[in-house]
Amino acid sequence: MRNEVIRNKQGLTEKEFLKGYDADIYKKPSLTVDMLIFTVMDEEEENYRKLPEKTLKILLVKRGDHPYLGKWALPGGFVAVEESLDEAAFRVLRAETNIDDIYMEQLYTWGDVDRDPRTRVISSSYMALVDNSSLKVKAGNDEEDARWFEVQYNLLEEKKAAAERGYIYEQLVEIKLRNESDELSARIKITENPDGSVCREIIESEGIAFDHGKFIQYAIDRLRNKIEYTNLAFNLMPELFTLTELQQVYEVILGRELLAAAFRRKIASMVIETNQFTKDAGHRPSKLFKYNSAWRRDI
């Protein structure tokens, strides 16, 4: 519908205008994507009767160059001019994992002026959820050291303070990331203003590069929120699973215990029972379920 013969104030047609357009007269920020790749893994359990505990893991990459040399960062990369933002995210994801059909979602775009000491860099964060059983992280690709870290989310402090037109709510959250060899942490202050808008600020960061601690806190917030009303959790599950395993995944993301009876009622319509069972469990076997792909939240 755009009419090519319309002329602007300089008397140019659109064709002429576009030909003369110079995108580089102003200095531009650089743009990156950073991936938050989550999975859930079983921890070793020595007692043959007990079920293994599940933990939430995130994939981090050890920085091999300045800045933050030796610190751990989210896998990421610069966005090229010939690829879309989503394509850039997929490219980064493929560089780290061997799977193609991975759940991916854009989270937030971080634009503080000083967030990267090299130059002005704005970063769009994406979250990916992968099923650990079908996953193989590409080890040592382009000399990178990629490792899974156990994620812990601790609410350290909650504050409510009177302000001009209402109350300001502040949370101090600690993110702990653990490995066999490393323990990283970040403290993030989350401020909720009277109008409902939210700000995040890094108070302290140990071993985590850039402002990536904020990214992780934000992602967990989103995970916790979306798991309640979407099928998101099933992206972390294998083809067949027990309801207890599914409940454990919910619990490890939400950071609290759930009651089995209520949980089973709630997710009943999202799963289909098979006639297979777990074996050699040291206790009563458990029925295996699969995702009910026809499920959809009612609106």
Partner DNA sequence: TCAATAGTGTCTATTAGACAGTATACC
Partner DNA sequence: GGTATACTGTCTAATAGACACTATTGA
Under the binding rule (CB under 7 A), the answer on residue 266 touching DNA is yes
Tell the smallest beta-carbon distance from residue 282 to its own copies (Å). 33
Structure-derived torsion over alpha carbons of residues 217, 56, 266, 219, reported in degrees to the nearest 10? 20
SS3 222: helix
Under the binding rule (CB under 7 A), the answer on residue 5 touching DNA is no
Tell the smallest beta-carbon distance from residue 167 to its own copies (Å). 6
Residue keyed to tokens 């979306």: 226
Q: Is the dihedral of CA 83, 231, 289, 250 positive or negative?
A: positive
**How many angstroms separate the CA atoms of 152 and 216, rounded?**
10
Under the binding rule (CB under 8 A), the answer on residue 35 touching its own copies is no
Under the binding rule (CB under 8 A), the answer on residue 2 touching its own copies is yes
CA end-to-end distance (rounded Å), the chain:
35
Q: Which residue in the set 275, 282, 297, 299 belongs to the binding site for DNA (CB under 7 A)?
A: 282
Counting Cβ atoms within 10 Å, is residue 193 exposed (0-12), middle (13-18) or buried (19+)?
Answer: middle
Under the binding rule (CB under 8 A), the answer on residue 238 touching its own copies is no
Strand pairing category for 183-192 and 198-206: antiparallel
Count interface residues toward DNA (CB under 7 A). 25
Under the binding rule (CB under 7 A), the answer on residue 163 touching DNA is no
* Residue 129 CB neighbour total at 10 angstroms: 20
Tell the smallest beta-carbon distance from residue 272 to its own copies (Å). 12
Q: Binding string to its own copies for residues 41 to 70, with x set by CB under 8 A, is what?
A: -----------------------xxxxxxx
Q: Kindly identify the residues of this chain, within the stretch 173-202, that bind its own copies according to CB under 8 A.
A: 194-197
Among the listed ranges 5-13, 191-199, 218-226, 280-288, the one in contact with DNA (CB under 7 A) is 280-288
Between 178 and 264, CB nearer to DNA: 264
Under the binding rule (CB under 7 A), the answer on residue 229 touching DNA is no
Q: By the 8 A CB rule, do 202 and 188 touch?
A: yes
Under the binding rule (CB under 7 A), the answer on residue 50 touching DNA is yes
Angle at 154 between CA 55 and CA 179, to 5 degrees: 40
Q: Kindly identify the residues of this chain, within the stretch 246-275, that bind its own copies according to CB under 8 A.
A: none
Tell the smallest beta-carbon distance from residue 60 to DNA (Å). 30
Among the listed ranges 82-90, 124-132, 133-141, 256-264, the one in contact with DNA (CB under 7 A) is 256-264
Residue keyed to tokens 């409510």: 160
What are the tokens at 16? 């002429």
Of 247, 244, 221, 213, residue with least CA distance to 233: 247
Among the listed ranges 11-19, 173-181, 194-202, 259-267, the one in contact with DNA (CB under 7 A) is 259-267
Q: Which does 119 bind (CB under 5 to 8 A by kind): its own copies, DNA, none?
A: its own copies
Of 99, 107, 145, residue with least CA distance to 226: 107
Among the listed ranges 67-75, 127-135, 141-149, 281-289, the one in contact with DNA (CB under 7 A) is 281-289
Under the binding rule (CB under 8 A), the answer on residue 9 touching its own copies is yes
Beta bridge mates, 148:
59
Runs of H (alpha helix) within the chain: 14-20, 85-96, 212-226, 243-254, 260-267
Between 180 and 298, CB nearer to DNA: 298
Residue ranges that bind DNA, judged by CB under 7 A: 47-51, 242-244, 259-262, 264-266, 278-287
